[in-house]
Amino acid sequence: MTSNPPTARTRLRRLHERGRHDSDSIHAVLDAGLLCHIGYVVDGGPVVTPTLHWREGERVYWHGSAASRMVRHLAEGHPLCLTVSHFDGMVMARSAFHHSVNYRSAMLFGTARAITDPEAKTRHLKAFMERWFPGRWDELRSIHAQELKATTVLSMAIDEASTKMRAGPPKDDEEDYALPIWAGVLPLNTVVGEPEPCPRLAEGVAAPAYLRAFAPK
Amino acid sequence: MTSNPPTARTRLRRLHERGRHDSDSIHAVLDAGLLCHIGYVVDGGPVVTPTLHWREGERVYWHGSAASRMVRHLAEGHPLCLTVSHFDGMVMARSAFHHSVNYRSAMLFGTARAITDPEAKTRHLKAFMERWFPGRWDELRSIHAQELKATTVLSMAIDEASTKMRAGPPKDDEEDYALPIWAGVLPLNTVVGEPEPCPRLAEGVAAPAYLRAFAPK
């Protein structure tokens, strides 16, 4: 289990018993879902953009249109913060103050590198697809050189990172437990609905098995 | 329908047909859920912190420990970006390039104001609770002065804001529709699981009806 020694930014100031810096914990939070929020600074002001990420080893990846402001800015090597949050439940205590949230989150700091080699780009985009839909990449119409050119793949080392989480029932003041107030957790889950076939689906094309296995948080 | 005229930051550069600047659209995205991501700049570098938000009229609110780095920093009036994203589905096309995501997102820019008056603070915290659990505030053990003091409520005007969304089936290159490749949407929904009563729940306390109505995105 590799450890990422805390820096001034990833040292957990509050509720540090909820935090972890080891790779396994960080990878688990990254790998549980696809949606991240990336923060960066434009003209001195912060911008937070949602995008999809994936992990390969000790690096995190995302992609976007080569024309996107976020992509162009980050490809220049400006500092960024990539945060992934899974909202697992509302924690309802006997006092407003002790209400809380069950969650898992990861916060990564660093700078991105753009992958320019078309073959490397293709390999990483395939890894993204295969992470969630194994086998789909080879079924697809193959990627055009022009599409690859219009797509930027960015990656960042996972070396300045932390996770934080909370799980379990509410914690109330000792004297409040006896109060006749409902307390507990409302669990929140992401569920995948029935696949909605494209209205122009070619005749006789069945839903692939990997659709059933898709289970992001 | 009030409109927030686009600024340099909220003008939508790409896929602007997916964007809106009117209040109704922005409020709808904010009101659909509780989780937002707030970006701010510390020592020249971006930080993105997940937190819960709520809306009252033309302002957005959030709260936190008065000791939190995010809360203390933003209470000083530094610029921030508050982003809310709802991931509604994976859009699976016949080519990797046209894969996409169905989503609704809102991006708000501005500076926060800390609410210091204890009565006003209480009123806003109650509004937050009542937004999702109507009637619960008055059932709870009442808030202590010390707890109020330890909690900072922040708010920001919703005046520099935009939303973006995508819905519907994949859009493929015309010549790709005939290919025998599954295409369509995998809808993603947030569902609330069975309430998990606190192991120390007082005897005879039933689950309140408002638990069933809780339905965030």
Distance CA A207, CA A159 (A): 39
What pLDDT does residue B116 have? 92
Distance CA B157, CA B116 (A): 17
Residue B5 belongs to a domain = no
From the list A180, A191, A216, the residue facing B202 with the nearest CB is A180
CB B89 within 8 A of CB B187: yes
A-chain CB neighbours of B39 within 8 Å are 37, 39, 46-48, 81
| pLDDT one-digit tens code per residue, A149-188 | 999 999 999 999 999 999 999 999 999 999 999 999 999 9
Of B34, B46, B180, the CB nearest to A202: B180
Percentage, residues of chain A above pLDDT 70: 95
Long-range contacts of B67-71 (CB under 8 A, 24+ apart): B67/A14, B67/B150, B68/A13, B68/A14, B68/B152, B69/A13, B69/A14, B69/B42, B70/B38, B70/B40, B71/B152, B71/B154
Would A168 be classed as within a structural domain? yes
DSSP structure string for A142-177: PPPHHHHHTEEEEEEE--EEEEEEE-SS----GGGT
Residue B187 lies in a domain: yes
Any domain includes B22: yes
- Exposure string of B2-19, with b = 16+ CB inside 10 Å and e = fewer, is eebeeeebbebeeeeeeb
DSSP state of B22: B
Please report whether residue A42 resides in a domain: yes
In this prediction, residue B1 carries a pLDDT of 44
Q: Do A193 and B195 touch (CB under 8 A)?
A: no
Q: Does a structural domain hold residue A9?
A: no
Q: CB distance A140–B187 less than 8 Å?
A: no
Range of the domain at A188: 16-213
Cα A161 to its chain centre, rounded Å, is 13
Tally of structural domains, chain A: 1
Q: Using CB atoms, pick whichever of B79, B89, B140 lies closest to residue A94.
A: B140
| Residues lower than pLDDT 70 in chain B | 1-4, 12-17
Q: Does any domain span residue B108?
A: yes
| Confidence (pTM) | 0.94
Chain A residues with CB inside 8 Å of B192's CB?
186-189
CB–CB contact A85 B177 (8 Å): no
Distance of alpha carbon A144 from its chain centroid, rounded? 28
Q: How many Å lie between the alpha carbon of A202 and the closest alpha carbon of chain B?
A: 5
B195 assigned to some structural domain: yes
Complex prediction ipTM: 0.94
Hey, what are B163's tokens? 């939303």
Q: Report yes or no: A103 and A167 within 8 Å, Cβ to Cβ.
A: no
Nearest to B183 by CA among A126, A191, A140: A140
- Residue pair B10/B29 in contact (Cβ under 8 Å)? The answer is no
Q: Specify the CATH number for the domain of residue A109.
A: 2.30.110.10
Alpha-carbon gap, residue A104 to B24, rounded angstroms: 31
Smallest CA–CA separation between B9 and chain A, in Å? 9
Return the pLDDT at A1: 44
